[in-house]
Amino acid sequence: MLSYFYCVTKYDPSDRDEHGSYTGQEDTASDHGEVEAAYLQAVAAFARDTGIDHLAVREPQVPSLAHFGVEPPVAGFGLDGLFPSGPADFHDGAEVPLDIGLELVRAMLRDNGAWCRLEVEDTFAVHVGWDQYLYISSSRPCAEALARTRELGLFPETMDASPYSFEDEEEGIQRPGDDDFWACLHRAVRDGVAGVLEENPLGGATRWHHLAVDTLSTVRAELAPRARLGVWPPLSPDVETVLGALPAEGLIEGVWLDDAGRILSAIADEDDFPELTARMSSAPAAALLPVSADERVPLFTAVMPDDDGVLRARWRTRPTPNDRHWALRHHQG
């Protein structure tokens, strides 16, 4: 278990007021230079002191509707060149060597867009927060790393816990995307109840899949490890009626089929509705989905388990009535 928690920053504690707010001259952006390098050396020192040389990516995410970082977003969200097979390797549970982990920390310090927790279960964790706050947790006190961090000109402070540790806020059993789920999906597609699969391989990223009985195995094989899934009804061929249901104002997501059989989507508000209408009007089939989490209710959901069938992903889907019914049957069984 992790027993030692530290906040590492470039902010001198003596430059804080009585409320703990920083009043010094340090910028909240990375300098892309010596200070940033000191942060990375500090992480490496704590990893070395803990005895780890690999890290697991947990709960990765990229910007979706908005980018709130101090610096402008970059192409590829800071992931370009970090993974042998490209950004698709940036997924929950991905194991990376320490040097790649440090590059992910660099991308987070620069607000490039990609964010994740980097962990070794019950041994080590590092997270980057707002304004160049770095949180490091270890199963060991890391006295040498603390001394090295101070030598680098940074300020490590002891904490009770990391504010970026994962906290499961949902109750109940998470439905896995196992054989039972895919058998249920097969029946729903066969009966014309389901026709679209929403895949969230990362927080903030969505891929859409058109479902047919004879393509389900192909879709399943293409899903990202530990992806979150949402099953939706088939798209409507009456696109004119779909577009006629656009609200007077507010955010909406348009989902449509193109001539190549791919499903595309776009989130738009009333200012963008003319462009969205132009893009969707010639589609073979389409649908409008609410953006609000309370209103956005698919038929049923799941999270993909690992290849051995174990569900190790910690993030969850928002349970639907069908999911609750499944959970009740699962509990009774």
Does residue 222 have a pLDDT over 90?
yes
pLDDT digits (tens, 9 = 90+) for 33-45: 999 999 999 999 9
| pTM of the predicted model as reported, rounded to 2 decimal places | 0.92
* Residues with Cβ within 8 Å of residue 3, at least 6 apart in sequence: 138, 139
CA–CA gap between residue 127 and residue 39 (Å, rounded)? 12
Cα Dmax for the chain = 67
Total residues found in the chain within this entry: 333
> Cα 222 to chain center, whole Å?
18
> Cα 60 to chain center, whole Å?
4
pLDDT digits (tens, 9 = 90+) for 113-154: 999 999 999 999 999 999 999 999 999 999 999 999 999 999
pLDDT of residue 72: 60
CA–CA gap between residue 315 and residue 224 (Å, rounded)? 14
Q: State whether the Cα torsion 243-245-248-251 is positive or negative.
A: negative
Q: State whether the Cα torsion 275-276-281-282 is positive or negative.
A: positive
Does residue 66 have a pLDDT over 50?
no
Smallest CA-to-CA distance from 78 within 63, 94, 59 is with 63
CA–CA gap between residue 300 and residue 298 (Å, rounded)? 6
Asked if 268 and 274 touch (Cβ cutoff 8 Å), the reply is no
pLDDT of residue 332: 62
Confidence of residue 329 (pLDDT cuts 50, 70, 90): confident
pLDDT digits (tens, 9 = 90+) for 176-193: 999 999 999 999 999 999
Smallest CA-to-CA distance from 266 within 119, 10, 64 is with 64
pLDDT of residue 43: 98
Mean pLDDT, rounded, of the chain: 93
How much of the chain exceeds pLDDT 70, in percent? 96
pLDDT of residue 71: 59
pLDDT digits (tens, 9 = 90+) for 255-264: 999 999 999 9
Smallest CA-to-CA distance from 61 within 210, 226, 178 is with 226
Mean pLDDT over 193-205 rounds to 96
Mean pLDDT over 202-222 rounds to 96
